[in-house]
Amino acid sequence: MRAATNWKPPAICLLVGLALITVPDPIASSIRSHVIDMARPGQQAVAELVDRLEGWHPLEGTARVADNHRQDLEAARLEIRRLRIANARLVERAVAGRTDSSQPPLITTDLVPARVLGHETIAAWQAGRILDRGRGLPVDSLVVEPGHATLDLGVDSGLARGQPAYAGRRVAGRISRVGRWTSTLQPLTDTRFRGLARLARRGRDRPVFSARGMLEGCGDGFCRLTLVPATEVVARYDLVYTDGRDQPGGWPMLYGTVVRAELPDGAPHWEIRIRPAINLDELQNVEILTRTLNPQRSNSPGVLAQ
Amino acid sequence: MNPLSLVRHLALLGLAYAALVAETSVVPQLSLGGATFRPLWIVLALVVVGGRGSAIVVWAAVLGFTSDCLRSNGPLGLDLVLATVAVCLLPSEWTRRRIHSITTTTLTAVLLTAGIESASRLVRIGIVSPNSAWLTDTLPAAVTGSLADALVSSGLLLIVLLGLRGLHRSLGRMLLPAPLST
């Protein structure tokens, strides 16, 4: 510093400093707060800059285009969904119009609920330990088949041999023997079980059906699907539904899921292994599909009678 | 006042404000191995090498007062006094004319930061816990910590100045007309 002439500014600054040192704490705190508050605009600018740097992307233009495409795709998806819903409504209306014919159906179907008898109940029945109050519960009226579940409904409830049994929307098997009060259920895994089947892939709102075939029980807890041509597309986890016109409610029932699909060289058909959708060991209730003649039709005079 | 000098002071004012913002927003989030980056003393070093005469003292007082306000303990005018004394104790060759040497600028930053910080810490600790051996107890830690702060701050300043000089040279080469080839 130029010594003699410039002593005033340092002296003034030192005096100011010394004066500030003597300032009481509340005033000093107030001054500190005001000075720090002055930095607030700059701090906000720094925070905005940091946010922009974090959100900045070199391919922002491309991202914007991709965002537009994503919006278009979402709109297209919504339109497809709307059309699907409209299509489903039209199909329902068409089915309803088809069924609402002038004549009621000749055959009506009904699902009769039945319980699976447990081993203890069967043993007690066979031992004659069930109280029948004199109504007659002979041992030979109990229908039992090895490996088949016994149901607590029989001829009295309209059950007959060959009627399909379901658990919910899954196929459990069919009635194999019928007694007066009981019947046996042939599970779908039984070696003598046969049923028309149809493969399906999982769709967004309903299964997409493809090839038809014949489902057969393997006897080892699994089934196989035969007669599916080699030209069809089969994959694991495809679903197997019942096929045919006589579906309860017009909807197919589920047999199971494809767990293995092989196409040997030169073979005309797939070898498909199916895991049943139902756990037969834990089966407690089933519904048996019964068909009866529609009384409205049977009471009305026929065409030939007129 | 010379218009260029006014622009220079405005630029220093902007730098001082940037240092204040950095001290309150960026510096607390920096982790430099225990050392603290002190932008205010960097600005003071730039004032010393870029200014002349009594303006340096006034700027030292302003920056010292700002540093006082950023500290939560101790008297308010302590850094003001220390910064004023520090610039007065610098060699007169550094404050009489502008300096364009990066080495001198860095050295100024080291001296100012280490001197002001160590003295400020010692005094503040002595005020908070006055005992007979406070100087011997706190001097090594205060000096070591202040020196670390000074080295970190001046190191960053050196990197920035070297980068600016490289940029300046590159721009100078680009703006020079290309020699005609024979």
pLDDT tens, position by position, B157-172: 899 989 988 888 888 7
Domain extents for chain B? 3-175
**B90: nearest CA partner in chain A:** A1
Query: Based on the domain organization, do A77 and A152 belong to the same domain?
Result: no
Query: Based on the domain organization, do A181 and A286 belong to the same domain?
Result: yes
Query: Based on the domain organization, do A269 and A281 belong to the same domain?
Result: yes
Query: Based on the domain organization, do A94 and A170 belong to the same domain?
Result: no
Residue A263, classed as helix, strand or coil, is: coil
ipTM of the complex: 0.81
Of the pLDDT bands very low, low, confident and very high (cuts 50, 70, 90), residue A108 is confident
Question: Which helix H or strand E contains B88, and what residues bound it?
Answer: helix B78-89
Q: Is residue A7 part of a domain?
A: no
Partners of residue B66 in chain A, C-beta under 8 Å:
35
pLDDT tens, position by position, B77-101: 899 999 999 988 888 877 777 777 8
pLDDT tens, position by position, A41-65: 888 888 888 888 877 766 666 667 7
Query: Based on the domain organization, do A65 and A137 belong to the same domain?
Result: no
Query: Based on the domain organization, do A70 and A42 belong to the same domain?
Result: no
Q: At what angle do helices B102-128 and B39-50 cross, to 10 degrees?
A: 130
Q: Is residue A238 part of a domain?
A: yes
Q: Is residue A4 part of a domain?
A: no
Overall size of chain B counted in residues: 182
Q: If you ran DSSP here, which 8-state letter would residue A221 be given?
A: S
Residue B116 to chain A, least CA–CA distance (Å)? 14
Query: Under CATH, which number does the domain B3-175 receive?
Result: 1.10.1760
Number of compact structural domains in chain A: 3
Query: Based on the domain organization, do A121 and A89 belong to the same domain?
Result: no
What are the angstrom distances between the C-alpha of A48 and each of A56, A165, A229? 12, 69, 66
Q: Is residue A279 part of a domain?
A: yes
Tokens of A268: 């005309």
In chain B, % helix, strand, coil (3-state, to 5) comes to 75, 0, 20
Report pTM: 0.48
Mean pLDDT confidence for A180-190: 90
- Token look-up 């309150």 returns B24
**B92: nearest CA partner in chain A:** A1
Mean pLDDT confidence for A228-240: 91
- Report how far residue A222's alpha carbon sits from residue A259's, in angstroms, rounded to the nearest whole number: 10
The CATH number that applies at residue A290 is 2.40.10.350
- Report how far residue B52's alpha carbon sits from residue B9's, in angstroms, rounded to the nearest whole number: 11
pLDDT tens, position by position, A244-282: 777 777 788 999 999 999 998 888 999 999 999 999 888
Q: Is residue A241 part of a domain?
A: yes
**A22: nearest CA partner in chain B:** B75
Query: Based on the domain organization, do A166 and A264 belong to the same domain?
Result: yes
**Structural domain harbouring A98:** 61-103
Mean pLDDT confidence for B45-71: 88
Nearest by CB to A14, from B84, B92, B95: name it: B84
